[in-house]
Amino acid sequence: MNGKVWVLSAVLSAALVAGNVHFSQAPAAERVMPEAGKILSFNKAIEHASRCVVNISAKKRIKENIPQAFMDPFFRQFFNMPFGQMMPRERIQRSLGSGVIVTKDGYIVTNNHVVDGADEVHVTLPGDTNEYKAKIVGTDPKTDVAVIKIEKKDLPAIKMGDSDTLKTGDLVFAIGNPFGVGESVSQGIISALGKDSMGINQYENFIQTDAAINPGNSGGALVDSRGVLIGINSAILTRSGANNGIGFAIPVNMVKRVATQLIEHGKVEYGYLGVSISNLDPTLQKVYKNKEGAVILDVDEDTPAKKAGLKRGDLIIEVNGKKIKDASDLKNVIGSIPPGKEVTIAYERNKKVEHVKVKLAEFPDSKFKIEGDRGVVNGLTLQNLTPQIRNQLGIPDDIEGVIVSEVKQGSEADKAGFMPGDIIIQIEDTMIKDVKDVEKAMKRYSGKKRVYINRRGMIRILVVE
């Protein structure tokens, strides 16, 4: 009997490499049970981290304005409302969240959205029924990180990890206060790293995990199997409001940088280049030698980029030797460098790679715009920007170009995404002032051409032929 089994096994093994197909066969593996009488548990690994995660209660006073009509005496009498009820009333909005103790003297990291606009913040420690009043040290809406502080010494401080060393598939635990039920732990793995363009924060480099993160977990800890902090739980992707196995945490390296500045300066300073940027889509990739980077759509006046000579159409591929994959990557890299620092930028212009040194400025509000489009042009009706058109459409005098007055339905221009009202401001290196400039530029440049348009104040780029 044993001989027959062996022969059959040999035949099956031979079948795996039969013909010209050779499969990569995994070696045999032994199935094992936990040691008899022992329970597999991570309790000791996360015990310290659990003592570092706190519950946060935030209160915000919201004034409710009474409609103007109800202030009339007739309405007060009709609805039998005393005069006192006509005054604006205050409503208390309460929110629950979590936080992580990062220093022994009471500094706690949480999400900005947990304490944003709060008039009062209180903290409850694990195993302690006392409620501690917290002071908001600083908030950073761009990364959704905030730091608060309670007056208490000798607190357990969480151990910090290095989020640059994480790998997809690592075992993780989310610790927090979901739905206000108290401290709890959920287990999962790292599903993905470097998630951006989620539209959650201005600066994004999320850790994605399937560890259950629910309302109230915000600001809590994401730790590895050693109990070391690797991220701050921030958001979930859901349609129902419940956890669907897609949660996001802010990586601990970003948290450390932001929290340090908030504690030391009360605010976070971001490096500023002064450009509007776009990703390289498949059509744009055909225009450049490099297939990764951030393409410049516009350069703001009186900015580091302008002073350094960077131009619309340049493709930024490196900053201080670090490769730039896309627009979000450039934004995160530049933002992580303090204002006043000089950086070396490598960029592609006219198929050649050049380098320039740029001294970064401080990031002003509402400057980064990431837009992009693609297409092949045909079927456009263009008009010069006359004073009458400017007055009718409210176009400022400092915007030069030609306006798209009509896009023929079903035409190549329509398929490409051109819209009536778009203002063509530049084609390749040629600035556009009138329709004749468009005609000259289309003849001057052969092959694929980059067309820059102003659409309701946002710069977009299209590739035409």
Residues annotated as catalytic are 113, 144, 218
Contact 131, 178 (CB under 8 A): no
Q: Tell me the CA distances in angstroms from 332 to 163, 206, 307, 321, 327, one per residue in order.
A: 15, 12, 21, 15, 9
Report DSSP letters for 77-129, one per residue.
Answer: HHTT--GGGGS-EEEEEEEEEEEEE-STTSEEEEEHHHHTT-SEEEEE-TT--
- Beta strand pairing call for 107-111 and 120-124: unpaired
**Cα atoms found within 13 Å of the Cα of residue 433, Cβ hemisphere only:** 1
For 29, residues 6+ apart whose C-beta sits below 8 A from its C-beta are: none
300: helix, strand or coil: coil
Which residues are bridge partners to 272 per DSSP?
A: 361
What are the backbone angles phi and psi of residue 433, rounded to the nearest 5°? -115, -30
Extract the tokens encoding 138.
């600083």
Q: Which DSSP helix (H) or strand (E) runs through 349?
A: strand 342-349
Q: What does the CA dihedral 256, 259, 263, 268 come to, rounded to 10 degrees?
A: 120
For 103, residues 6+ apart whose C-beta sits below 8 A from its C-beta are: 155, 157
Report DSSP letters for 11-59, one per residue.
Answer: HHHHHHT-TT----PPPP-----PPTT-----HHHHHHHHHTEEEEEEE
Report DSSP letters for 194-213, one per residue.
Answer: EE--SSS-SS--EEEE-S--
Q: Tell me the CA distances in angstroms from 94 to 62, 115, 136, 184, 292, one per residue in order.
A: 10, 10, 16, 21, 45
Q: What is d(CA 228, CA 230) in angstroms, rounded to the nearest whole number?
A: 6
Q: What is d(CA 387, CA 383) in angstroms, rounded to the nearest whole number?
A: 12
Contact 97, 177 (CB under 8 A): yes
